[in-house]
């Protein structure tokens, strides 16, 4: 029996459907070798080391954009309303973690949510074989009971574009790397656009970016899980209701059309968009 092709749009957050080029959205991204439900890397001994099947490649704490957080919170509220559940407490453990991180100033910024410094330090200094094996590195949004991602629909670029093996070999891996560059660019451009529309200055934005992908840590930062109330207050420039802020970011992105998106991406982003299609076509040769 032949397998029907998997279009790229089915693995992307639905919010992008309104404005990412249809040439990209309709690309065939069928990958049959990276069998995530029965993780290939937990059983294929041709890799230099295997992963634990209950951790897979989710020993990673992704950055989530402000609009993805807004989408998850909005979706969760709709779900709560439809079931008559208690407002503000999520049945989805991953989304509840997001709520807790917001409440506890755990690196929840206007630009999005990122790994706290203690995690960033542990991840940066890990040995290769800790990836896939060290449960201290497990993603906060991973559902251990069900062995799957709790926020799959709005997971970020790294999670969307990582395939431990491709049906197209090196060409396939190159395609995913180019796609990852493009989607990272899109995520950052849109998250920043939300901030501009919400009144943040370029300086306010760069102050937040300093917390993402830090490379050097002071001793106390290697254990830091939260942002101090004073720094948090200055980074949020007066926004008190963070949940409603994130939902507004989602509304901004949801309402973009293709022309507005192209303007936000600019020439560099549009050239990355072309490269994605180009590398997808090379993959077929
Ligand atoms: S991509 Fe990740 S979950 Fe999927 S098979 Fe590979 S290691 Fe396992
Ligand atoms: S967000 Fe989901 S896919 Fe990504 S690392 Fe976490 S659990 Fe895995």
Whether residue 121 is predicted with pLDDT greater than 90 in this model: the reply is yes
> Whose Cα sits closest to atom 2 in ligand 1?
57
Whether residue 183 is predicted with pLDDT greater than 90 in this model: the reply is yes
- Residue 272's closest CA among 168, 180, 172? 180
Residue in 32, 33, 36, 176 to alter for ligand 1 test, most ligand atoms within 8 A of Cβ: 36
Average pLDDT over residues 228-257: 97
Average pLDDT over residues 4-9: 90
pLDDT tier at 102, thresholds 50, 70, 90: very high
39-48, pLDDT tens digit by residue? 999 999 888 8
Query: What was the pLDDT predicted at 8?
Result: 96
192-239, pLDDT tens digit by residue? 999 999 999 999 999 999 999 789 999 999 999 999 999 999 999 999
Average pLDDT of the residues of the chain: 95
> Whose Cα sits closest to atom 1 in ligand 2?
155
- How much of the chain, in percent, has pLDDT values that exceed 90? 89
Measured between alpha carbons, how far is 71 from 53 in angstroms, rounded to an integer? 29
Query: What was the pLDDT predicted at 90?
Result: 86
Residue 135 sits at the vertex; the CA angle it makes with 117 and 218, to the nearest 5 degrees, is 20
Residue 57 Cβ < 6 Å to ligand 1? yes
- Ranges 31-45, 79-93, 177-191, most confident: 177-191
pLDDT tier at 136, thresholds 50, 70, 90: very high
Q: What is the DSSP string of 9-21?
A: GGGS-GGGGGTS-
- The H-or-E segment that residue 112 falls in is strand 112-113
Query: What was the pLDDT predicted at 1?
Result: 53
Residue in 30, 35, 41, 172 to alter for ligand 1 test, most ligand atoms within 8 A of Cβ: 41
Ligand closest to CA 40:
1
Whether residue 71 is predicted with pLDDT greater than 90 in this model: the reply is yes
Query: What was the pLDDT predicted at 219?
Result: 97
| Helical packing angle, 169-197 and 242-254, nearest 10° | 120
């Amino acid at each position: 029996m032949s397998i029907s092709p998997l279009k790229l749009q089915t693995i992307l957050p639905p919010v992008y459907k309104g404005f990412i080029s249809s040439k990209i959205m309709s690309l065939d991204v069928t990958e049959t070798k990276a069998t995530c439900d029965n993780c290939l890397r937990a059983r294929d001994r041709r890799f230099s080391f295997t992963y634990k099947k209950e951790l897979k490649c989710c020993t990673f704490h992704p950055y989530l954009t402000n609009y993805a957080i807004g989408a998850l919170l909005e979706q969760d509220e709709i779900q709560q309303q439809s079931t008559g559940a208690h407002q503000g407490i999520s049945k989805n453990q991953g989304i509840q973690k997001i709520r807790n991180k917001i409440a506890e100033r755990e690196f929840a910024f206007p630009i999005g949510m990122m790994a706290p410094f203690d995690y960033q330090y542990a991840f940066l200094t890990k040995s290769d074989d800790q990836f896939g094996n060290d449960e201290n590195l497990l993603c906060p949004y991973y559902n251990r009971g069900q062995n799957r991602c709790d926020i799959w629909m709005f997971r970020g670029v790294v999670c969307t574009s990582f395939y431990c093996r491709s049906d197209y070999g090196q060409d396939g891996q190159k395609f995913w790397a180019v796609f990852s560059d493009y989607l990272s660019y899109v995520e950052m451009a849109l998250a920043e656009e939300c901030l501009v529309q919400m009144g943040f200055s370029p300086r306010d934005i760069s102050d937040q970016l300093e917390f993402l992908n830090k490379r050097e840590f002071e001793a106390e930062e290697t254990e830091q899980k939260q942002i101090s109330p004073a720094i948090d207050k200055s980074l949020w420039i007066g926004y008190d209701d963070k949940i409603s802020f994130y939902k507004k970011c989602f509304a901004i992105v949801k309402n973009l059309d293709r022309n507005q998106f192209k303007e936000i991406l600019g020439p560099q982003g549009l050239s990355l968009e072309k490269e994605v299609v180009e590398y997808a076509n090379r993959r077929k040769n």
